[in-house]
Structure 1
Amino acid sequence: MHQLTRSIQVEIHMRQVSLATYLSTLKDFKEKEIHNIIIDTNSEKITILLKKILQQKMNEYKYHYLFTSFDLETFDLEDFKYNYVNITSFRLVNRGDVVVKDILKDLTYYTQNIHNHNNAVLNLNKIGMIESESALMFDSMYIFAIGLQTLDQSHTIFISNLTCEDEIPWNGGLSLINYINSVEWKGLTGPIQFKEGERVQFKLDLVKLKQHSIVKVGEWTPNGHLNITEPTMFFDSGSINVTLVVITILETPYVMMHYEKNFTGNERFYGFCVDILETISHEVGFDYILDLVPDRKYGAKDANTGEWNGMVSQLMKNKADLAVGSMTITYARESVIDFTKPFMNLGISILFKVPATEPTRLFSFMNPLAIEIWLYVIIAYFLVSICIYIVGRLSPTEWRCIHPCNLDHITVGNQFCLSDSFWFTIETLMQQSPDIFPRAIATRIISSIWGFFSIIIVASYTANLAAFLTTERMINPIENADDLASQTEISYGSLDSGSTMTFFRDSMIETYKKMWRNMDNKKPSVFTTTYEDGIKRVNQGNYAFLMESTMLDYIIQRDCNLTQIGGLLDTKGYGIATPKGSPWRDKISLAILELQEKGEIQILYDKWWKNSDETCTRKSNSQSSKVNSLGLESIGGVFVVLLAGIFVAETLIWKWAK
């Protein structure tokens, strides 16, 4: 059989660096995507190097640093603990060992006494913590003292003056070395035993940085070499196995909840934001535990105490890794927590009950002109008719012979008698050709002005008639935010401790400042604890709810009794919130941008907003602008006028016939 061998090629980059070249070397590693770095330097320079790593933002899970120093626990790794960065090192002093604890306790007590009485300070790194070099020196001096004490018990030690010029060996040196080699003792650096002048039976702990602490993951011994005791602590950076704590708040359709007993854990939640979180978790590579925020609030800063509540407070206290929901990105929140790129853009709008439709009346054809216009037209009709009659009687030109061929009975008459004057005026108004025509200059001027007046009135009536008869007229008491601010009959409010409330509270626009004063001083309170309460108050009438446009769009598509008033009052976005400095913000932001470019977020939006099974049938604005068929209720009055005219004419005929 042929033995199969596999050769592995590893590319190694070596750099000899100094304090001046730390930053440039890290930049080079970052550009070349070198993620596994072994650092061999003294403890004094490691602190500076860690700061440079933070400046380059190379403190995330895909980087793995192996330090040759034995003093990893003595460094300030607070900025690295929560970023899942891989930092590995060896440890010589195990502070958890009972013997080590006792020795460090004695050293601490001795250090305090020296400091209090002699104004001297023993060079310890921290209380209860000692560097490996000091620990080795302590163990060396202790072993030397034991060997010297043993030598003194068996031999008389003579000490003579020594000089560097004369090479005169000390007679007790060989015996002292033999006694030291025979010492067996457990010190700060572990069991101490020598064989042929070399230390044996010691070990190094392999330690790794984990969230909140440094843990032991293996050990190295001279005989057994490296033994990994916690292999699960080492994972592939491409398939990170991290479980994040995610808090949310119930808000339809962003996050909703199953209350049945057969749903447990993350399965209890569903909705638009839950789908986005699930997609992002697969893209970025993390598991999560989803739960509700305890106080059921998004997060707002108390103006008196300065304390934050809601999901913002949970993130600030590091009780959660992410906050997902319809959470608005604001300046105040961004100053205490971090947000990803927005996955949805929106603004504040006004939710109001659909105004009542103006009832259709029998004489709706008269609506194009106001009642007072109709009265003025009738008055003008009578005045013009009487003026024509008077001017016609006074003007000689309007007098003529009634029977010019009968010379024996010459009769002179005026063509503008009272009835003819009224008939002439009405014929002109109806744009009909009259039987008589004015002859005098005065009557012609009056007739011309009346004709011009009739053209304007008829044209205006005709132009407005179609709009009044073919479209529904709604009685809407408010059209925008200015209308709300300038009246007191309709109450208005927003969600308590939400971004909408904060927007009005902090706004410098006079209209919004006026609205905030009205809302803040209104009793009982106009603020609601949930969106459902606000929608309920709107449906009850005489109340406008200020809310974010995406939620408003979802509501009005399912409740045709509600509508949006005016446009957007501002523009903003929803984002996923993280604690300050979280390494997950940039990764999630990139995932959101990718989902937006692929159109997956729009697909999810259509899924939850435009589900045809839930939306109601609403007449759109484009439909209402089209010409609709007229019913009898719209133009029935025309038939009434026609019948009334026929009845009057028939009555006059019967009277004349008799």
Structure 2
Amino acid sequence: MIKFDTAGFRSEFQLDIVNLENQGLRKVGRWETNVGIQWKPGYRIPGVDDEKSLRDKHFLVLISLTDPYGMLKESASMTFGNDRYEGFAIDIIHEMSKILGFNYTFEVQADNAYGSLNKTTGQWNGMLGKIIAGTADLAITDLTITAERQNAVDFTSPFMNLGISVLYRKPTSAPPSLLSFLGPFSKDVWVHLLAAYIVVSMLLFVIGKLCPVEWTNPYPCIKEPEVLETPFTVMDTPFFVIGALLKSPTGFAPAGISTRALAIAWWFFTLIIGSTYVANLAAALSTKSVMWPFKVAEELAYQQKIKYGAKKGGSTLSFFKDSSHEPYGIMYNYMMDHADEVLMEKNEEGVWKVQQQNYAYIMESTSIEYIKQRKCNVTQVGGLLDAKGYGVAMKKDASYRTDLSGAILKLKENGIINELQHKWWKQKRGGDECEISYREEIVEELKFLAKCSSKKIIKRRKTSLETIKSNSTDS
């Protein structure tokens, strides 16, 4: 039956797609108004779709709502299906589907569990449990490739390389002390300066005693005095030497050639030392010294003031469990003994705890980099504890593993992975929140000078949202 819509065009019909071959016309698919093109299984367009071996494949892809890998899309209009989600992992699947031609449907892991092995039952939970059970085809998020997980499922080539590091709040400036004035010089310099002062004082005292010119008549009215005096006494000579060092007049000057030569050498020395001290003091006052409670992760194992933890059941915790390094073993025992207090269900909980308490959260470096761009009061402490990668998980011995890995390698070679990382780390959702654009500041200053205005708006550095909320709550 032929149907027409209100505009007079045909509706609800289908077209056969045929291909001209040596043997004649061959039907390779059909097109329907409500479905679109449906190719026959195994058909490829020569020269165009040779690489799309997964054309007729439909994947159920598990994701987690973890920034920036998977997030609910911010939209004023109602969205449905895959359009509800956006993020780094979402874009990677989309780019892979463009290369391989497969279809996909996203499903959110409700409990946000990636997958860990229950030693008692031998069963996997979370995303990997669904992959093994066959209820899902793929899983992509900040899912770390580990040896234990590779025994249960297959992974593609890593789409991102990273390591474990420590997230901690930015250290505060060191408070001034009573001995801050000694900061411009090191301890060795002060010791040598004191030794030089003592030696010069002794030499000047001895030379002043031996030089006849330094002995003068204290009573000018008496032409032939019986007693002569010298200003270079045990009390006055050190005062003369320290006066030259502090640029203070002492009231007398050497008269003999030998004493003057020594005094000139000392004055030149004090000129260099004084200028260097003032320059170093100005630099020390302009730059605030920072107090780091710890500089490497291993130091956390041998202290009691800072609490530390990781994500519960994650690969980071497994790293400490399997490590043979003594400090890491101590850290793992501490985290398990205080699991209710230091192990987090989500990374967001760990970040909040870092901002509000004296707590260090151990997590992947890529996540730390993402958080640093948006939380201005936290930073990464120390280097990487290991080297690993994120991959797309699938069922063991899946036939399409090679195709998916090849697609990821192409995305890397084409620079698309780097573009997506820059997009979601530094552009979208508040990226570069804590970065200072000096170019924009210079432009604003030039505009202000051009206006010749007598009023100026003060711009302050942005702080993180959690810090603002905390301050308003406390008040």
Structure 1 stretch displaced more, 319-328 or 480-489: 480-489
**Distance in 2 separating the partners of 1:469 and 1:617:** 25
2:265 matched to 1:265? no
- AA paired with 2:43? D
Q: Which residue of 1 aligns with 2:10?
A: none
Secondary structure of the 2:134 match is coil
Q: Which residue of 1 aligns with 2:125?
A: 309
Q: Which residue of 1 aligns with 2:57?
A: 242
Measured against aligned partners, the alpha-carbon deviations of 1:332-364 in whole angstroms (never above 9, x if no partner) come to 111111111111111111111011123579996
Deviation at 1:597, TM superposition (A): 1.2
2:433 matched to 1:616? yes
Q: Which residue of 2 aligns with 1:256?
A: 71
- In structure 2, the gaps of 5 or more residues are 1-19, 25-37, 438-475
Structure 1 stretch displaced more, 343-352 or 400-409: 400-409
Measured against aligned partners, the alpha-carbon deviations of 1:479-531 in whole angstroms (never above 9, x if no partner) come to 11122222111011111111111111111222222221221222643110101
- AA paired with 2:72? M
Q: Which residue of 2 aligns with 1:537?
A: 353
Deviation at 1:432, TM superposition (A): 8.6
Deviation at 1:534, TM superposition (A): 0.3
Which one of 147, 162, 167 corresponds to residue 331 of structure 1? 147
Measured against aligned partners, the alpha-carbon deviations of 1:587-646 in whole angstroms (never above 9, x if no partner) come to 1111111111111111111111111854223469xxxxxxxxxxxxxxxxxxxxxxxxxx
Deviation at 1:399, TM superposition (A): 3.7
- AA paired with 2:59? L
Contact 1:403 1:410 (8 Å CA) reproduced: no
For residues 146-225 of structure 1, what are the structure 2 equivalents within 5 Å?
none
- AA paired with 2:116? A
Check 1:618–1:289 CA distance in 2 against 1; reply closer, same or farther (3 A cut).
closer
Q: Which residue of 1 aligns with 2:22?
A: 8
Check 1:460–1:331 CA distance in 2 against 1; reply closer, same or farther (3 A cut).
farther
Deviation at 1:417, TM superposition (A): 4.2
**Distance in 1 separating the partners of 2:322 and 2:268:** 58
**Distance in 2 separating the partners of 1:281 and 1:611:** 24
- In structure 1, the gaps of 5 or more residues are 1-5, 11-230, 621-658
Q: Which residue of 1 aligns with 2:375?
A: 559
Secondary structure of the 1:300 match is coil
**Distance in 2 separating the partners of 1:305 and 1:369:** 65
Deviation at 1:316, TM superposition (A): 1.4
Secondary structure of the 1:567 match is coil
Check 1:7–1:449 CA distance in 2 against 1; reply closer, same or farther (3 A cut).
closer
Contact 1:298 1:327 (8 Å CA) reproduced: yes
Check 1:453–1:504 CA distance in 2 against 1; reply closer, same or farther (3 A cut).
farther
Q: Which residue of 2 aligns with 1:520?
A: 336
2:417 matched to 1:601? yes
Q: Which has the higher contact order (CA 8 A, sep 6+)?
A: 2
2:229 matched to 1:413? yes
| Structure-2-length-normalised TM-score | 0.70
Secondary structure of the 2:128 match is helix
Contact 2:353 2:359 (8 Å CA) reproduced: yes
Contact 1:253 1:271 (8 Å CA) reproduced: yes
| Structure-1-length-normalised TM-score | 0.52
**Distance in 1 separating the partners of 2:189 and 2:196:** 10
- AA paired with 2:64? I
RMSD: 4.2
- AA paired with 1:476? W
- AA paired with 1:236? Y
Contact 1:384 1:446 (8 Å CA) reproduced: no
Contact 2:201 2:241 (8 Å CA) reproduced: no
Check 1:333–1:600 CA distance in 2 against 1; reply closer, same or farther (3 A cut).
same
Contact 1:365 1:469 (8 Å CA) reproduced: no
Deviation at 1:307, TM superposition (A): 2.8
Deviation at 1:303, TM superposition (A): 4.2
Q: Which residue of 1 aligns with 2:35?
A: none
2:287 matched to 1:471? yes
Secondary structure of the 1:504 match is helix
Secondary structure of the 2:172 match is coil
Q: Which residue of 1 aligns with 2:165?
A: 349
Secondary structure of the 2:166 match is strand
Secondary structure of the 2:243 match is helix
Q: Which of the two has higher C-alpha Rg?
A: 1
Which one of 582, 603, 628 corresponds to residue 398 of structure 2? 582
Structure 1 stretch displaced more, 301-310 or 459-468: 459-468
Deviation at 1:233, TM superposition (A): 6.1
Deviation at 1:453, TM superposition (A): 9.3
Secondary structure of the 2:62 match is strand
Secondary structure of the 1:413 match is coil
**Distance in 2 separating the partners of 1:619 and 1:485:** 35
Check 1:467–1:567 CA distance in 2 against 1; reply closer, same or farther (3 A cut).
farther
Contact 1:296 1:310 (8 Å CA) reproduced: yes
Secondary structure of the 1:508 match is coil
Aligned pairs, how many? Answer: 393
Deviation at 1:537, TM superposition (A): 0.3
For residues 17-416 of structure 1, what are the structure 2 equivalents within 5 Å?
234-237=41-44, 238=49, 240-258=55-73, 262-359=78-175, 367-368=183-184, 399-402=215-218, 407-409=223-225, 411-416=227-232
Contact 2:217 2:225 (8 Å CA) reproduced: no
Contact 1:578 1:584 (8 Å CA) reproduced: no
